[in-house]
Amino acid sequence: MILCVFVSFSLVAQNDSGNGSPIPQESAQNSPNTLQTDIPHDYPGWLLLEKGKTARLTGNLTQAFYLLLLALEKSPNNPEIEKELGQAFLQAGDFTQAKNHLNRALSKAGNRGDLAIEYEVRYILARIYTIEDRFADYEKILNEIISLDGTVRLSGPEGFDLLDAGRTALIERGLNRTLVLYRVSDSPSREAYRQLGVFYFNTGRYTEAINKLLISIMQPISEAIELVREKDLDYTFSSIDQLWLRLKDDEQVRDYLRESLVYESMFYLAQSLHRFDPTRAVTADEIYRTLEKIPDAQQFH
């Protein structure tokens, strides 16, 4: 019975005005739940989307495909439905169909000016490219995220270049002093900077690694400093470990810093600095000492 219903909506999916995709057979076999097809005809697209997303997150891909394709019929220009279908195919192991839907999501999000979905879809595509060992495409799409993000200001009046100034301060005066002098607001591209920094380190491109990792550290630390200042206008930042001591009872901000993977970025920055110029070991050593003082960074001690 389930197989017959599966085949019927699989055929509908293939005939869906170019938007649909054949549903992989393994999604029916691996689903932990049975397929529910008695969906009221008056369900709006957004509700079908939410139910389809819930089904996907609980592992019921057959139900997810069914609901998401119905949602797409009702809301064919909705990029979030395409994104969810892409993620469902990714879970099913069909990278080709996943990329097809994700690229449609990018196109539709661009038509709507929906930057949030554009960022999210590009990060999903980046993950697929790493699975496929397509590292040139991985690097390209992460750089697209950085280019898309207009909130990171690395230049200023009279030709000031924050990245150049920050890198010079880092090498000559250390990370903590750099963060005293310069700040960068958090933004959607922070994770792209981090991933590229680690990628460049692993591929021996240490100058590029330093550039990207520095920004990926400055963003969450700058945000944490501002959060402290919201409660204490007289707070003055002096070092990352001193900032952590100030935050030791603030689980929300500590969770934010952990989730930003800032301590991992610091570790890779120290490694990159050491390999970029071993004579500047003192700069790398300062970062290692800072990590040793932070309990939340114990895996990088």
Q: Does the structure show a pLDDT above 80 at 109?
A: yes
Q: What does pLDDT average to over the chain?
A: 88
Same domain? 136 vs 188: no
Q: Does the structure show a pLDDT above 50 at 27?
A: no
Same domain? 131 vs 18: yes
Same domain? 138 vs 196: no
53-70 tens-digit pLDDT: 999 999 999 999 999 999
Same domain? 126 vs 229: no
Q: How many domains does the chain fold into?
A: 2
Same domain? 193 vs 227: yes
242-266 tens-digit pLDDT: 999 999 999 999 999 999 999 999 9
Q: Exposed (0-12), middle (13-18) or buried (19+): which is 159, by Cβ within 10 Å? A: exposed
Q: Does the structure show a pLDDT above 70 at 77?
A: yes
Q: Does the structure show a pLDDT above 60 at 157?
A: no
Last residue of a domain, one of 117, 148, 179: 148
Q: Which of these, 65, 75, 13, lies nearest to 35 by C-alpha position?
A: 65
How many CA atoms lie less than 13 Å away from 242 in the CB half-sphere?
10
Q: Does the structure show a pLDDT above 50 at 48?
A: yes
Cβ atoms of residues 95 and 75 within 8 Å: no
Residue span of the structural domain in which 52 resides: 2-148
User: Furthest-apart CA pair in the chain: how many Å?
Assistant: 71
